[in-house]
Amino acid sequence: MNFLAAIAVALTALRVNALRSFLAILGVIIGVAAVIATVSLAQGAADAVEEQIASLGANTLNIRPGSDQRGGRRGGAGSATPFSSDDVDALRRDVPVIVAASGTVQGSVTAVVDGVNWPTQIIGAHPDYVEVRDWVIEDGRLYTPQENQRSARVALIGQTVAEELFPSGGAVGQTVRLSGQPFEIIGLMAERGQGGFGQDQDDFIMAPISTVRERVTGFRRAGVRDPVQTIWVEVTAGEDMENAELEIEEFLRIRRGIEPGAQDDFSVRNFAEFIRAFNETENVLGLLLAAAGLITLLVGGIGIMNVMLVSVTERTREIGLRLAVGARRADIRNQFLIESVVLCSVGGVVGLALGVGVSLAAETFGPAVGADDLSVAVEPTIALIAIAASATVGVLFGFYPALRASRLDPIEALRHE
């Protein structure tokens, strides 16, 4: 019997016992659907988080003051002596691996235009901040170092602020009041969209750090001239980030007068490390999901084996008759093996369709249950692996029933009632 004829006979046998065939492949359907749905949702979430981390910059470092300790009492994070604009200049000037650096001061503010107000966050930063964060100015210009130095009341706004305050467009050149003071809008930032954690990355106003510090937030710290809350630095492309981090830490220890062996009163965050740690976590999660899917498919395979053994028993006389009229034992074995593979393959295809449907439904109706940032990513490779795995299960769990059928004695099989 040729291969195509064997498949035709297998489909006929499965169609005759449609209900039993469906119950047999139900475990495979559920297993494949569960794997596709969970992997798709996990991959979608992973892509969103990785995009959010990557948006911070793979060659970007974030420097913050640590905790202060006086006697036996320890302050919280950020309680140590803050950095200053002079520290930012020194990093940019004296650390060779740094190509750009900016301090930041942030706070909340209500922007008012012609009686329309919008609460948002304001970022005070040096001009290098746009380069460090790899932001793009869609319209207008960036403020100059001179404007930053003289605390000019100029600002750049994000797309969300522009849509709320200037729905008709033309934001650049307009005036917005912040903390009761007029600011000229000199630039509009390009859209960055929603972050991986659901935050709106376009809902902000950016202005010179000296302006924000002196006119908006009033951020001060005794003994520190021109304090900044956070320093962002961009490392030269191609540099080893760990070595750059060590070089910056050593420079800051000397600048802040920290004795050898003493604990740092600042922290340097390497976002490349975040990405690497996240990738490792994602790999472990993938292995766990794959293991869960394998167990489910194995359970489905056991069901396939049971059904095929019952089928061999029910069709004993048919097997004996075919052997008696000249069928080879290999033909009998291949016939039942093909039936098992077809069963599992059909279950895999149906499970794939069901899993994709569940994933898309979750993404579509997620906002209705408060999951606004829920996204899915159906990987074609995962889909192909799922189908191949289901077919492999058919071979593994169908081989014993097929072998048993091929070894039946034709005379005893014909006598079977």
Q: What is the number of other CB atoms lying within 10 angstroms of the CB of residue 319?
A: 24
**Coil, helix or strand at residue 31:** helix
Section 268-278 average pLDDT: 72
Q: Between residues 389 and 46, which one has the greater pLDDT?
A: 389
The angle formed by the CA atoms of residues 130, 132 and 134, to the nearest 5 degrees, is: 65
pLDDT digits (tens, 9 = 90+) for 82-102: 899 999 999 999 999 999 999
Which pLDDT belongs to residue 202? Answer: 92
Type of residue numbered 386: A
Residue in the block written with tokens 């003994």 = 223
What is the C-alpha to C-alpha distance for residues 60 and 271, in angstroms, rounded to an integer?
7
pLDDT digits (tens, 9 = 90+) for 280-334: 776 677 677 767 777 777 777 887 788 788 878 877 887 788 778 777 888 788 7
8 A C-beta contact, residue 398 and residue 339:
yes
At a CB cut-off of 8 Å and minimum separation 6, what does 83 contact?
A: 63, 65, 103, 227, 228, 231, 266
Which residues share a beta bridge with 247? none
pLDDT digits (tens, 9 = 90+) for 347-366: 888 888 888 888 788 777 76
Which pLDDT belongs to residue 195? Answer: 63
Which pLDDT belongs to residue 366? Answer: 61
What is the C-alpha to C-alpha distance for residues 269 and 97, in angstroms, rounded to an integer?
16
225-247 CB burial, b ≥16 within 10 A, e <16: ebbbbbbbbbbeeeeebeebbeb
- Please enumerate, as own/partner, the contacts of 260-263 that have beta carbons within 8 Å and a separation of 24 or more: 263/66, 263/69
Residue 103 has pLDDT above 70, yes or no: yes
pLDDT band at residue 161, thresholds of 50, 70 and 90?
A: very high
> How many Cα atoms sit within 13 Å of 408 on the Cβ side?
31
Q: Compute the CA torsion angle 127, 129, 132, 138 (nearest 10 deg).
A: -80
Domain boundary assignment for the chain: 3-53+276-415, 81-264
pLDDT band at residue 22, thresholds of 50, 70 and 90?
A: confident
Which pLDDT belongs to residue 109? Answer: 95
Residue 76 has pLDDT above 60, yes or no: no
Which pLDDT belongs to residue 51? Answer: 65
8 A C-beta contact, residue 266 and residue 252:
yes
At a CB cut-off of 8 Å and minimum separation 6, what does 225 contact?
A: 84, 85, 86
The fraction of the chain above a pLDDT of 70, given in percent, is 83
Residue 49 has pLDDT above 80, yes or no: no
The helix (run of H) or strand (run of E) holding residue 115 is: none
Which pLDDT belongs to residue 278? Answer: 67
Residue in the block written with tokens 């940032």 = 373
pLDDT digits (tens, 9 = 90+) for 165-224: 999 889 999 999 998 899 999 999 999 877 655 578 899 999 999 999 989 988 887 678
**Coil, helix or strand at residue 130:** helix
The angle formed by the CA atoms of residues 357, 361 and 364, to the nearest 5 degrees, is: 140
Q: Between residues 377 and 396, which one has the greater pLDDT?
A: 396
Residue 370 has pLDDT above 60, yes or no: no
Which pLDDT belongs to residue 112? Answer: 94
Residue 50 has pLDDT above 70, yes or no: no
Show the DSSP H helices in 56-120 as ranges.
85-94
Residue 72 has pLDDT above 50, yes or no: no
Which pLDDT belongs to residue 222? Answer: 65
Kindly state the DSSP code that residue 366 receives in the 8-state scheme.
G
Residue 254 has pLDDT above 70, yes or no: yes
pLDDT digits (tens, 9 = 90+) for 380-409: 777 787 778 778 888 888 888 888 888 877
